[in-house]
């Protein structure tokens, strides 16, 4: 892909086009930068009248409600769902906790909850806590030495005892792409509910929840060029109806007396309190921004960058890749030989290169593949080959410092 073609995307992001600061931003797995269209949508909402949703008949309230529910439809269309199957959350973490709390009643002692060894803590700790509360057993699918999950182990030991499988679509630490349709089919044969953490997949794949077949799918707005504080929990209708609300009050109520209450219909019965209205509008603007580009072209751009970065890092004698999964999306973890990842990340910052270092909120995986942690390069639509070249040049300079 030509340099000019790559820069078509970058020009939409004000934070990356400031005159006095040309930052090489390679930390999109933590948070993506925000395009001007999202900033404009947020500003426009506040400038033209802010009102609470579903609760008044005046003009500002009607405008807010229409924009809020239109945003829900935009998100539904983006992932191949219906609007009533979209629940607003503050992000993937809250969504995982909502599911763990809402499914607690369905577990008894001896039941099993399955996760994998590569999960982000947000899709691990809530299930640990649920297992402890219900005396269920938490099972962990091991990973192979290359970072892929051991699917043969999963199939050998999975049984009707499992009630919940909570699994990542893409690893936030090494970029491994998991075979979700295969995992879903196998788990659902035994009657298990399947939860997919799509936080690292939503910006980099053509996500269609109908094709995936999962019961629930979650993601965060700030991983897909939207604002922070907004996220999505998708669920099949029967799966959402099976969830018990864990937060009460506000819009989730239908009828209330001093003695008892009844709940509203979906999706509102799972959305207590005043929602993040402007966050939903901002996320919808982000997805509309993405939709203006042909999907194949956008994904090919990212795949080309990922392959280029992998080639350059593999060729470098001082770089050791962490994890070599068969299928990878969006990111690469590595270490510089003889340099602690924290020291390396600090030095990269001196070269105006933003990377993440540490265990990446996935300590079980990190402890198995990289005990001291690693440096994570993660890509966004705005990145270019020139930025990968700048990274490699910085690695050369850093290694010269340590070799002296």
> Residues with catalytic annotation?
361
- The DSSP output letter for 378 is E
Do 71 and 260 meet the contact criterion of CB atoms below 8 Å apart?
A: no
Q: 3-class DSSP state for residue 167?
A: strand
The dihedral over CA atoms of 10, 15, 19, 22, expressed in degrees to the nearest 10, equals: -70
Do 114 and 163 meet the contact criterion of CB atoms below 8 Å apart?
A: no
Burial class, 276, CB count within 10 angstroms (exposed 0-12 / middle 13-18 / buried 19+): buried
* Integer Cα distance of 54 and 197 in angstroms: 29
Beta strands, E only, 212-359: 216-220, 231-235, 253-256, 261-263, 319-322, 331-336, 353-354, 356-358
Burial class, 20, CB count within 10 angstroms (exposed 0-12 / middle 13-18 / buried 19+): exposed
The dihedral over CA atoms of 225, 228, 234, 239, expressed in degrees to the nearest 10, equals: 160
Backbone phi, psi, residue 249, to 5°: 115, 165
* Integer Cα distance of 86 and 266 in angstroms: 9
């Amino acid at each position: 892909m030509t340099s000019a073609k790559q820069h078509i995307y970058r020009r939409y992001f004000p934070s990356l086009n400031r005159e006095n600061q040309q930052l090489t931003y390679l930390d999109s797995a933590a948070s993506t930068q925000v395009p001007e269209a999202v900033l404009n949508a947020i500003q426009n909402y506040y400038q033209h009248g802010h009102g609470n949703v579903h609760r008044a008949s005046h003009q500002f309230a009607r405008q807010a409600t229409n924009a809020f529910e239109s945003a829900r439809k935009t998100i539904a269309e983006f992932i191949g769902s219906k609007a009533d199957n979209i629940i607003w959350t503050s992000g993937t973490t809250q969504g995982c906790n909502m599911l763990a709390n809402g499914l607690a009643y369905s577990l008894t002692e001896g039941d099993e909850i399955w996760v994998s060894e590569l999960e982000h803590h947000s899709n691990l700790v809530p299930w640990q806590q649920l297992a402890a509360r219900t005396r269920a057993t938490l099972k962990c699918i091991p990973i192979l030495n290359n970072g892929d999950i051991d699917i043969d182990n999963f199939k050998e030991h999975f049984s009707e005892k499992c009630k919940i499988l909570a699994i990542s679509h893409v690893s936030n630490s090494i970029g491994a792409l998991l075979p979700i349709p295969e995992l879903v089919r196998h788990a659902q044969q035994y009657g298990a509910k399947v939860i997919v953490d799509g936080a690292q997949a939503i910006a980099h794949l053509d996500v269609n929840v109908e094709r995936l077949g999962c019961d629930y799918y979650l993601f965060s707005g700030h991983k897909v060029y939207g604002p922070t504080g907004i996220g999505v929990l998708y669920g099949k209708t029967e799966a959402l109806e099976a969830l018990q609300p864990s937060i009460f009050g506000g819009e989730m109520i239908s009828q209330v007396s001093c003695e008892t209450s009844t709940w509203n219909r979906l999706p509102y019965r799972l959305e207590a309190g005043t929602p993040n209205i402007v966050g939903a509008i901002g996320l919808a603007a982000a997805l509309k921004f993405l939709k203006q580009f042909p999907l194949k072209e956008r994904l090919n751009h990212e795949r080309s960058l990922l392959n280029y970065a992998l080639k350059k890092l593999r060729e470098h004698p001082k770089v050791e890749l962490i994890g070599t999964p068969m299928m990878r999306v969006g990111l690469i973890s590595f270490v510089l030989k003889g340099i602690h990842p924290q020291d390396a990340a600090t030095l990269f910052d001196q070269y105006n290169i933003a990377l993440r270092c540490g265990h990446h909120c996935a300590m079980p995986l990190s402890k198995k593949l990289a005990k001291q942690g690693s440096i994570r390069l993660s890509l966004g639509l705005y990145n270019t080959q020139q930025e990968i070249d700048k990274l490699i040049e910085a690695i050369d300079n850093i290694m010269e410092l340590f070799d002296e």
